[in-house]
A and B are shown apart, each in its own frame.
Chain A
Amino acid sequence: MIQAKFPLLSVLIFVPVVGAILVALISRQRENLIRSATLFITLIVFLISLSLFTSFDKTTRSMQFVEVYEWVPTFGIKYFLGIDGISVLFILLSTLLSVLCVTISWFSITKKVKEFYASLLLIEGAMIGVFCSLDLFLFYIFWEAMLIPMYLLIGVWGGPNRIYAAIKFFLYTLVGSLLMLIGIIVLFLIGGGTFDLLKLMQYNYPYHIQLLLFWAFFTAFAVKVPMFPVHTWLPDAHTEAPTAGSVILAGVLIKMGAYGFLRFSIPLFPDATISMAPVMMILSVIAIVYGGFICLGQTDLKRLIAYSSVSHMGFVTLGIFALNTQGLQGGILQMINHGIVTGALFLCVGVIYDRTHTREMADYGGLATVMPVYSAFFMVFTLASIGLPGTNGFVGEFLILVGGFTASKPLGVIAATGIIIGAAYMLMLYQKVFFVETNEKVANLKDMDKREILTLLPLLILVLWIGVYPNAFLGFMDESVKGVLERIDMQNQSVDLIEKLLEGLK
């Protein structure tokens, strides 16, 4: 562990939280001040987080920027923060998307402005907290605390069916999380009275307990990802949420599930992971194909992108549970990619939704002539979503498929068809909205202004940057991924040893 000289992670978590309180104190009438203050805070946080990018030590797999303080000594709960190659990129993604959420909401949020930006800042703090926590209790606090502002974000500023979507989101997540809480408590009791992840990872728990705990954690993470049978909250939540909400949901929130698998499930329960990996991979492949087919039938722009998330997150979990270097690296990179690309697509939809207030594809058409700059941006993100070589989507999906093939050939083949379906629905969407005849309703739309271009530009750069030179990002996770895999291999060997010993005894 590398102790932090300066409590950088705490600063990243609490600047937005304190910022939210400050924003809440600003007079309600001064809406522009509220917006500017929020933008300022998120920008500051983003700039601070960039220092992680530069000062992160890529050569070690141990935790960096570590901060440990006693919190609740009775239960051995610590305020324990630290990041490694798996989490560092997510923090950057969270801080970047938060800035963009502020700028894209500038004019579109007009009611309860103060509450909106305060919620946004609270979400940002909690998101960063989730990715930094190395104490299970602390992790759970951030994980759940995020539900409150997110629930409000969907329910207050969302679309027509927002209340239903908000409550559905809340209940699904809560049930999963509470079962994970039981898992955490059991782990605490059998792991020697600590919530310290690094300490808990040193033990090898009996297989049947691992299996139970794996499923307890699975409920929480699978709901968040969302994996195949429990994905139904996602289309509603993503569709009804305001643009900023959709971006955060798609960009960061659903990554937390997959991150949870990587950070907690696999290292804590390696035996159970190995035995359950085929099940997880099958569920992932179902999500890829099933999600893709559903996309083909959508008429609502946001709903289509939402379902595409189900399909894309299927790739991510496939990569993770392939349990080899390529799969894991691809999985992590694809999470970042998906955050960037889907975040960008939701931002793009937000841009035209602000102008037309409709999400039906049939209401659009011929935007390519009306809004050329916008069309160009959208095209790049569409291609990235499909996974065209040269964009980031290609690198991630390629790695995942390599990993998937190595683990299981048939599943790899089926998963690959998901890319074809992906191309079909994304191109269909692009065609219906941007080509064909110009719809009268959209004939007089203005092209993007500077604010909107500036919002999308960073993501465009990232799409191409990762697409052309992925090593800049893969380098971060190399060591940590090796660490995760060693944990599993070690487990394999130790299981073999025990079996051999047992045989010897017989």
Chain B
Amino acid sequence: MIIVPPPFPNLTPFIPELIVLSVAMVLLLLEIWVKNRVFIAGICILTGFAVIYCLNMSIGITFNGMFINDIYSVLFKIIFMVCLILTVLISLNYIDREKPIRGEYYSLLLFATAGMMLMASAKDLMVLYLGLELMALSTYILAGIKTLNIKSNEAAIKYFMLGAFSSAFLLFGISMLYGLTATTDIYLIAERLKDTERSLPLILSMIMIVVAFSFKIAAAPFHMWSPDVYEGAPTSVTAFLSVGPKAAGFAVIGRVFYIAFEGIQPDWTTAFIIISVITMAIGNIVALAQTNIKRMLAYSSIAHAGYILIGIVTSTYESLQAVINYLMIYTFMNIGAFAIVILLDKGEEIQDYNGLSKHRPLVAAIMLLFMFSLVGIPPTAGFIAKFNLFVSAIHGGQIWLVVIAVIFSAVSAFYYLRVVMNMYMKDPLVEEHQIHLSPSLGFAIFITVVMVMVLGLFPSLII
């Protein structure tokens, strides 16, 4: 018997991940000697741009068909890179301010990003799980990186426990699927399920996977971890968590459900319709009662996951595109809002914003822009995101879901507007609103403001 050594895999499609992973590992070592944070952050940003540059050149399938880099994953990876770059920009000054923060911060960000990229590119459920755990483990540590802060610790533990729980669900679902089809390749699963009957184990495994992914995108009723984690984690990490892992979650939902579970589309659509409605309801209604802006934004991000799920449910090519556009725009406006929270010396409670327009009119005006964009009022990008999503959903026949979504959008106006109201219509509680403006933070805010305005006025740039 001749054993043929397997050929060396073609690494071209994997180049973007390779870049991120190797930079992450190098940084891990480098951080021992290099104390200059600007240098390290600069490397992270360069990495982001390098990846965006390489993405289009590295389309293909590799690792025996376990890894795929296609247009779909490229679009998601661009979102991840934007998220990474903006997070690094807003972190730079902030994590020095939040004293007891470990040196590994940036490399953990990179590891988490690499995990998200793997998820988007997974053609095999094992790779998907690998990426998911890489992302999850890095983000658990990031959430708890303020080691001496009790809330940060609580956030990390909670995130870890519930995350592990959801991973177990995912593995359970995958193993049942393996039992049915004897493969973990997403595309092969689809092929083998084509001829089989709709059976109880299949539905069960679908439900398990729905639950696991709903944890990741913080969809109700699996959202319990997110407000505590968002509140406890350092704000820059919260900004990252509210965008990156969520987008990655949607990437795998798209891939797994559209392809592997194509045969039982009505079943998973029903499941996601229910989750979407509950998510919009809980996210928007509970957000009304929040007094901490990070918690409020946590619930708002739950609500946005609900809107985005409408695009998933519609399951047309058009709606998937709308989902990606929504995530892109959401990245800019949400990180922008968090950037303002970071900018303020005391900006975690909603009442800290009282009278902000008096002392800091420009900061207040920018926050106003982000808040209206999150509501979805034209001419901001948030409106374009919603509009695009609703068009595709109505086209796909989900008109009632859209009606529910717009009603909850109107509810959401109330809590976003409360921030505006506090900034413009109430008297300040403090003598002076201190801000910590650094060039990198200023640049991040500038980029997000420009993108929110430009994409709002010239939507043809992305749709």
Task: Spell out A's residues near B (CB within 8 Å).
Answer: 28, 71-75, 112, 114-115, 140-141, 144-145, 147-148, 151-152, 155-156, 162-163, 166-167, 170-171, 174-175, 178-179, 181-182, 185-186, 188-189
Q: How far is the CB of A200 from chain B (nearest CB, A)?
A: 15
Q: A144-B377, A167-B417, A174-B413 are in contact. Are A189 and B425 (CB under 8 A)?
A: no
Q: Is B75 an interface residue (CB 8 A)?
A: no
Tell me the nearest residue of chain A to B388, going by C-beta: A75
- Which listed residue (B410, B414, B421) contacts A178, Cβ 8 A? B410
Q: Are A182 and B394 in contact (CB under 8 A)?
A: yes
Q: Is B463 an interface residue (CB 8 A)?
A: yes
Q: Bound state CA distance, A152 and B425, in angstroms?
A: 8
Which residues from chain A contact B357 at a C-beta distance below 8 Å?
A: 112, 115
Tell me the nearest residue of chain A to B362, going by C-beta: A24
B residues 15-64 with Cβ under 8 Å of A?
none
Q: Bound state CA distance, A145 and B377, in angstroms?
A: 7
Q: Are B406 and A171 in contact (CB under 8 A)?
A: no
Q: Are B410 and A171 in contact (CB under 8 A)?
A: yes
Q: A141-B379, A188-B391 are in contact. Are A171 and B413 (CB under 8 A)?
A: yes
Q: Are B378 and A141 in contact (CB under 8 A)?
A: yes
Q: Are B391 and A189 in contact (CB under 8 A)?
A: yes
Which residues from chain B contact A152 at a C-beta distance below 8 Å?
A: 420, 424
Q: Is B409 an interface residue (CB 8 A)?
A: yes
Q: Are A178 and B460 in contact (CB under 8 A)?
A: no
Q: How far is the CB of B328 from chain A (nearest CB, A)?
A: 15
Q: Are A162 and B463 in contact (CB under 8 A)?
A: no
Q: Are B406 and A151 in contact (CB under 8 A)?
A: no
Q: Is B11 an interface residue (CB 8 A)?
A: no
Which residues from chain B contact A74 at a C-beta distance below 8 Å?
A: 460, 463
Q: Are B406 and A182 in contact (CB under 8 A)?
A: yes
- A sample of 13 cross-chain residue pairs with beta-carbon separation below 8 angstroms, ordered by A number, consists of A28-B361, A112-B358, A144-B377, A147-B377, A151-B417, A166-B421, A171-B414, A185-B387, A185-B390, A185-B402, A189-B391, A189-B394, A189-B395
Q: Is B459 an interface residue (CB 8 A)?
A: yes
Tell me the nearest residue of chain A to B368, going by C-beta: A148
Q: How far is the CB of A316 from chain B (nearest CB, A)?
A: 26
Q: A155-B421, A185-B391 are in contact. Are A179 and B406 (CB under 8 A)?
A: yes
B residues 409-452 with Cβ under 8 Å of A?
409-410, 413-414, 417, 420-421, 424-425
Q: How far is the CB of B382 from chain A (nearest CB, A)?
A: 11
Closest 4 CB pairs of A and B: A178-B406, A141-B378, A175-B410, A72-B460
Q: Bound state CA distance, A415 and B196, in angstroms?
A: 69
Please classify the interface of chain B as helix (H, G, I), strand (E, B), loop, or mixed, using the class held by over half of its residues: helix
Tell me the nearest residue of chain A to B413, going by C-beta: A174
Q: How far is the CB of B370 from chain A (nearest CB, A)?
A: 13
Considering residues A75, A145, A170, A174, which has the most beta carbons from chain B within 10 angstroms of its beta carbon? A174
B residues 270-303 with Cβ under 8 Å of A?
none
Q: Is B224 an interface residue (CB 8 A)?
A: no
Query: What is the size, in residues, of chain B's interface with A at 8 Å between Cβ atoms?
Result: 32
Q: How far is the CB of A109 from chain B (nearest CB, A)?
A: 14
Beyond contacts A144-B377, A148-B377, A152-B424: 7 other A-B pairs, Cβ-Cβ < 8 A, are A73-B460, A170-B413, A171-B413, A175-B406, A182-B394, A182-B402, A185-B390
Considering residues B394, B395, B413, which has the most beta carbons from chain A within 10 angstroms of its beta carbon? B413
B residues 367-418 with Cβ under 8 Å of A?
368, 372, 375, 377-379, 383, 387, 390-391, 394-395, 399, 402-403, 406-407, 409-410, 413-414, 417
Q: Are B459 and A72 in contact (CB under 8 A)?
A: yes
Q: How far is the CB of A236 from chain B (nearest CB, A)?
A: 15
Q: Are B403 and A75 in contact (CB under 8 A)?
A: no
Q: Bound state CA distance, A151 and B420, in angstroms?
A: 10
Q: Bound state CA distance, A114 and B364, in angstroms?
A: 14
Q: Bound state CA distance, A185 and B383, in angstroms?
A: 13
Q: Are A182 and B403 in contact (CB under 8 A)?
A: yes
Which residues from chain A contact B413 at a C-beta distance below 8 Å?
A: 170-171, 174
Which residues from chain A contact B459 at a C-beta distance below 8 Å?
A: 72
Q: Bound state CA distance, A503 and B265, in angstroms?
A: 45
Q: A166-B425, A182-B403 are in contact. Are A145 and B460 (CB under 8 A)?
A: no
Q: Bound state CA distance, A182 and B372, in angstroms?
A: 19
Q: Bound state CA distance, A182 and B391, in angstroms?
A: 8
Q: Bound state CA distance, A156 and B417, in angstroms?
A: 13
Tell me the nearest residue of chain B to A143, going by C-beta: B378
Q: A75-B463, A185-B394, A189-B395 are in contact. Are A175 and B407 (CB under 8 A)?
A: yes
Q: Are A163 and B425 in contact (CB under 8 A)?
A: yes
Considering residues A140, A141, A179, which has the most beta carbons from chain B within 10 angstroms of its beta carbon? A141
Q: Bound state CA distance, A174 and B395, in angstroms?
A: 23
Q: A115-B361, A189-B391 are in contact. Are A148 and B372 (CB under 8 A)?
A: yes
Q: How far is the CB of A168 from chain B (nearest CB, A)?
A: 11
Q: Bound state CA distance, A155 and B390, in angstroms?
A: 30
Q: Are B417 and A71 in contact (CB under 8 A)?
A: no
Q: How far is the CB of A440 from chain B (nearest CB, A)?
A: 33
Which residues from chain B contact A148 at a C-beta distance below 8 Å?
A: 368, 372, 377
Q: Bound state CA distance, A179 and B403, in angstroms?
A: 7
- Which listed residue (B368, B379, B390) contacts A181, Cβ 8 A? B390
Q: Are B399 and A182 in contact (CB under 8 A)?
A: yes
Q: Bound state CA distance, A171 and B375, in angstroms?
A: 11
Tell me the nearest residue of chain B to A147, going by C-beta: B377
Which residues from chain B contact A188 at a C-beta distance below 8 Å?
A: 391
Q: Bound state CA distance, A74 and B463, in angstroms?
A: 7
Q: How far is the CB of B428 from chain A (nearest CB, A)?
A: 13
Q: A144-B383, A181-B387 are in contact. Are A186 and B410 (CB under 8 A)?
A: no
Q: Bound state CA distance, A186 and B399, in angstroms?
A: 9
Q: Bound state CA distance, A71 and B460, in angstroms?
A: 7
Q: How far is the CB of A208 from chain B (nearest CB, A)?
A: 14
Which residues from chain A contact B377 at a C-beta distance below 8 Å?
A: 144-145, 147-148, 174
Q: How far is the CB of B364 from chain A (nearest CB, A)?
A: 9
Q: How far is the CB of B158 from chain A (nearest CB, A)?
A: 34
Q: Are B417 and A182 in contact (CB under 8 A)?
A: no
Q: How far is the CB of A43 from chain B (nearest CB, A)?
A: 26
Which residues from chain B contact A163 at a C-beta distance below 8 Å?
A: 421, 425
Q: Bound state CA distance, A144 and B378, in angstroms?
A: 6
Q: Are B410 and A145 in contact (CB under 8 A)?
A: no
Q: Are B391 and A170 in contact (CB under 8 A)?
A: no
- Which listed residue (A73, A140, A156, A178) contacts B409, Cβ 8 A? A178
Which residues from chain A contact B410 at a C-beta distance below 8 Å?
A: 171, 174-175, 178
Q: Bound state CA distance, A166 and B417, in angstroms?
A: 10
Q: Bound state CA distance, A170 and B411, in angstroms?
A: 11
Q: How far is the CB of B393 from chain A (nearest CB, A)?
A: 9
Which residues from chain A contact B387 at a C-beta distance below 8 Å?
A: 181, 185
Which residues from chain A contact B463 at a C-beta distance below 8 Å?
A: 72, 74-75
Q: Bound state CA distance, A178 and B413, in angstroms?
A: 12
Which residues from chain B contact A112 at a C-beta distance below 8 Å?
A: 357-358
Q: Bound state CA distance, A178 and B459, in angstroms?
A: 19
